[in-house]
Amino acid sequence: MVSPIRIVHYVNQFFGGIGGEERADTELLVREHPVGPGVGIAEALGDRGRIVATLICGDNYFNERLDAARSAVLEAIERYRPDVVIAGPAFNAGRYGIACGEVCKAVTETLRIPSVTAMSPHNPAVPLYRRSTYILLTGESAASMPRILPALATFAHRLAVGDAIGPAEREGYIPRGIRGIILDEFPAARRAADMLKAKLAGEPYQTEIPVEVFQPARPAAPLRDPSTATIALVTTSGLVPRGNPDGFKSMNESRWTTYSLKRLSALTPDQWEPVHGGYDTRFVRENPNLVVPLDVLRDLESEGAIGRLHADLIVTVGVGTPVKTCLRMGEEIADELHRANVSAAIFTSN
């Protein structure tokens, strides 16, 4: 027989039997046995595992002294070496939900111990923590307790023994924002025709990719006086020193870097080359200034139309890179330009 798993269970002051709102300031208490909902979880587990400790915190204490509470809880959990941590269920209780989410996130990210909690989809903690842990779906109130405790017990056991967890809808947890590849029952062409038929008939259908509408970037205010400004050149055209010394990939790149433009009056094909799988680079190979107009910028600089050209060219290869990676690189590049007191950037693609 497989040895029983070790569980640490987190609850608030109310479910921990300490008291109601008046005891919400209670600091961490540890009981080395199941408490409250933990009794139901332990029962459902049977000899598959046991709750080796119940951690109890007041909701106000946890939310108002987040860093201290999190450290105290982590320290206690580490001491009991659990295979898995369960928090809640928190139903639709906001502060309790945050505490459960925070505990699960911390143990999973810091201690690398799997975790699971449970709450209503309307709990304000859901959008904050759904990416960090498994949140099983509950009703709005403790009325759904009898159904959810065995589910929590089984899910925790599966996490502890390393079972593969299936898609969110099938397994009953709130989607973590991770897209996984599976096989559907029907070929996609058939699903497309069926979905169109349903949509035309006004019947219900479910899109397979929920659309996230991106916020357009708000442009910065125009320069008051370009003749005093420092201008940087930023490009996603993949223009790199000849030989591609940093080994940029021609597609799906996630790095950016800087190359010095000091003492260069224009870019020449013997020193620069494009690495990019998304456009016809033959023209750039003959004249790199087509994608990084250093020649023109140097003219403007000597005419006094712009104050100064920033000393470094900022380069990445913009093709096939996922959106979040692009956002991350954009923020990093903006930081770099801020640090260098650059007042404006000319962004060229290809």
Q: Binding of another protein at residue 131 (CB under 8 A)?
A: yes
Which of these segments, 38-46, 215-223, 242-250, 294-302, binds another protein (CB under 8 A)?
242-250
The rounded distance, in Å, linking the Cα atoms of 314 and 240 is: 10
Please state, in angstroms and as integers, the Cα–Cα distance from residue 110 to each residue in 64, 170, 186, 307, following that order.
21, 28, 41, 48
DSSP-assigned letters across all residues of 135-164: EEE--SSGGGHHHHHHHHHHHHHHHHHTPP
Strands 239-241 and 272-274: antiparallel
Chain positions 280 to 309 lying near another protein, rule: CB under 8 A, are 280-282, 285
325 touching another protein, by CB under 8 A: yes
**22 contacts another protein (rule: CB under 8 A):** no
Q: Interface residues for another protein in 47-66 (CB under 8 A)?
A: none
Q: Is 82 exposed, middle or buried (0-12, 13-18, 19+ CB in 10 A)?
A: buried
Binding of another protein by 141 (CB under 8 A): no
Question: x/- contact string, 145-174, with another protein (CB under 8 A)?
Answer: --------------------xxxxx-----
Contact 77, 111 (CB under 8 A): yes
* Rg value, the chain, Cα: 28
190 near another protein, rule: CB under 8 A: yes
First to last CA, the chain: 63
Contact call for residues 108 and 10 (beta carbons, < 8 A): no
Is residue 268 packed enough to be buried (19+ CB in 10 Å), middle (13-18) or exposed (0-12)? Answer: middle
Instruction: Give yes or no for residue 277 binding another protein (CB under 8 A).
Output: yes
Options 44, 195, 223, 344; binder of another protein; rule CB under 8 A: 195
By beta-carbon proximity to another protein, the closer residue of 10 and 248 is 248
Residues constituting the chain: 350
Judged by CB under 8 A, the residue of 67, 262, 323, 341 near another protein is 323
Select from 319, 325, 305, 314 the least CA-distant residue to 347. 314
Nearer to another protein, 119 or 240 (CB): 240
Name the segment binding another protein (CB under 8 A); options: 81-89, 113-121, 139-147, 269-277.
269-277
Span of 102-110, 115-123, 145-153, 211-219 interacting with another protein by CB under 8 A: 211-219
19 binds another protein (CB under 8 A): no
Q: Output 19 or 247, the one with its CB closest to another protein.
A: 247
Residue 36's region, left for phi above 0, alpha for psi from -120 to 50, else beta, is left
The footprint of another protein (CB under 8 A) covers 131, 165-169, 175-193, 195-197, 199-201, 205, 207-209, 211-214, 238, 244, 247-252, 273-282, 285, 319-320, 322-325
